A = this chain, B = another copy of it.
Amino acid sequence: MAEEENVVYVGSKPVMNYVLACITQFNEGANEVRIKARGRAISRAVDVAEIVRNRFMPEVEVKDIKIGTEELETEEGDTVNVSTIEIVLEKPV
């Protein structure tokens, strides 16, 4: 997945890495941070959003949550469906 502005891609690293990434983006002036994940990392993406809001930035709100499905190609050439989530956090101005 390509780098995008104000997007934090959640994978299999410790949850606090992504929490810190979100906080950094807000502190650098972003009004909105999009947390994206797919497959099993979806649960961790929800953890990230909740920890940012409950523990560090209570003023931040969940603006939108979208779910979807992506087709991935396996090494064997099969396609598998993977669920995705995008959580948009917003800092009111």
Residues on A facing B (Cβ under 8 Å): 39-43, 46-47, 49-50, 54, 62, 65-69, 81, 83-85, 87
User: Across chains A and B, which 6 residue pairs bring their CB atoms closest together, nearest first?
Assistant: A42-B43, A65-B65, A46-B83, A50-B69, A47-B83, A43-B43
Q: How far is the CB of A48 from chain B (nearest CB, A)?
A: 9
Most B Cβ at <10 Å: residue of A39, A62, A69, A84: A69
What are 12 residue pairs bridging A and B, where the CB atoms are less than 8 Å apart in the complex? Answer: A39-B43, A40-B40, A41-B43, A42-B43, A43-B43, A43-B83, A49-B67, A50-B68, A50-B69, A50-B81, A54-B69, A65-B66
Q: How far is the CB of A60 from chain B (nearest CB, A)?
A: 13
